[in-house]
Amino acid sequence: ARPLLEIRDLNLDFGTPRGCIHALRNVSLDVPAAQVIGIVGESGSGKSTLAYTVMGLLPENADVTAGSILFEGKDLLKMPAQARRSLRGDRLSMIFQDPMTALNPVRTIEGQMIDIQHHEQGTRGEKRARAIDMLRRVGISDPRNRIGAYPHHFSGGMRQRICIAMALLVKPVLLIADEPTTALDATLEVQIIHLLKDLQREIGCSVLFVSHHLGAVAELCDRVAVMYAGEVVEQGAVRDIFHNPGHPYTRALLECDPGRIRKSTRTLPTIPGEVPSLLGSKKGCIFHTRCPQAFNRCLQENPVEYRIGVDQVARCHLHDEERLVSA
Ligand code: ATP
Ligand code: SF4
Ligand code: MG
């Protein structure tokens, strides 16, 4: 079957007074139906930019210079603004790092949860009942009484649960979660991850899960894409990437004690060297300034994606060299 979301050769620039920032470079990524795809990478690698591009929530200075994003076979980038708006909060929904991005501080949870169902059938009373049920499912106790409260009556963790309830109330086919647990402590994070997994299975939606917690990704995701400086440098099944990483950057991320990654909620380790500036055009592999295995070709030529397993690709010349040696 055709993937739900197909991102092809996406390139995006931000215009800034200092020049053009190439925030996404030739990004290609599939999100199959009912699967959870993790996006990992250091700060500034373009994870949120990718998420916002799919949602159609880019700032004014963003310019998609090439590529397509097919959602259910239709190119989101060619859709009129009105059509994109009506997809949001219906077939597409999003959970943000800060729950207050999605919540209105001066309205009750009830009003907001009823409004978000404007695409759904049913009376106000039925929508209220659905909202109460969803609040109960995400672990808000006594939802019948508390639904009338305002966001500030809830703790940060509770607000994030409310946002998850709101995002899932519309029964999206694709949920985008941009670091939804970063603001929470480790115990709450584990609870939220389990909650997301349960609800995803039940609703059968796909999830694009942006995170710098490798443990959370291992726990929740079927597939993972590793981003570096605006490129997806490696992608594949979670098991393959974590056990047999094919890109030196992925290996660097996993190097410190891979055994712990599955269970811990450890954040991305810091790897030596500096992230390249995204200003101006680049020659060669984007990772060559930090790569312990860089060789001549890496400074000249940007690697293409090499297939290195049944379901795993990596952008690194080493895989081409291997092929040449074994041929
Ligand atoms: P983090 O883990 O910190 O959330 P990220 O991977 O989500 O990072 P992005 O926020 O997508 O990274 O940023 C990618 C690059 O684009 C960064 O260099 C960032 O500074 C730049 N950028 C993001 N938004 C804008 C903007 N509105 N104008 C100019 N540059 C931007
Ligand atoms: Fe390192 Fe070269 Fe591979 Fe880039 S192409 S990751 S510099 S070995
Ligand atoms: Mg981000």
Instruction: For ligand 1, say whether the CB of 233 is within 6 Å of any of its atoms.
Output: no
- Per-residue confidence (pLDDT) for residue 295, from 0 to 100: 95
> Ligand 1, residues 11, 20, 21: which to mutate, most atoms within 8 A of Cβ?
21
Instruction: Name the percent of the chain lying above pLDDT 70.
Output: 94
Task: Give residue-wise pLDDT tens across range 165-186.
Answer: 999 999 999 999 999 988 778 8
Is any ligand 1 atom within 6 A of the Cβ of residue 267?
A: no
Ligand nearest to the CA of 46: 1
Decide: helix, strand or coil at residue 146. Answer: helix
Question: How many A from CA of 102 to the centre of ligand 1?
Answer: 19
Give the residue, by CA position, lying nearest to ligand 1 atom 4: 43
pLDDT of residue 268: 59
User: What is the CA(99)–ligand 1 centre distance, in A?
Assistant: 19
Using one digit for the tens of pLDDT, what is the confidence trace for 131-178? 999 999 888 999 999 999 999 999 998 999 999 999 999 999 999 999
Domain spans of the chain, in order of start:
5-91+173-275, 102-171
- Ligand 1 atom with the shortest distance to the CA of 97: 4
pLDDT at 261: 47
* Cα 196 to averaged position of ligand 2 atoms, centre (Å): 35
Distance of CA 197 from the midpoint of ligand 2 (Å)? 35
Q: Could you tell me which residues come within 8 angstroms of residue 108 by beta carbon, excluding any fewer than 6 positions away? A: 147, 148, 149, 150
pTM, entire model? 0.92
**Cα–Cα distances in angstroms (integers) from residue 299 to residues 20, 283, 284, 302, 304, in the given order:** 22, 7, 4, 8, 14
Query: Best substitution site from 231, 288, 290, 301 to test ligand 2's pocket, by max atoms within 8 Å of Cβ?
Result: 288
| Predicted local confidence at residue 259, as pLDDT | 46
Q: What is the pLDDT of residue 140?
A: 93
Q: Which positions of the chain have pLDDT values less than 50?
A: 257-265
Residue nearest to atom 28 of ligand 1 (CA): 14
Contact assessment for residue 230 and residue 64, using Cβ atoms and an 8 Å cutoff? no
Nearest to 213 by CA among 256, 164, 269, 290: 269
Which ligand 2 atom minimizes the distance to the CA of 249? 6
Q: Does domain 5-91+173-275 have CATH number 3.40.50.150?
A: no
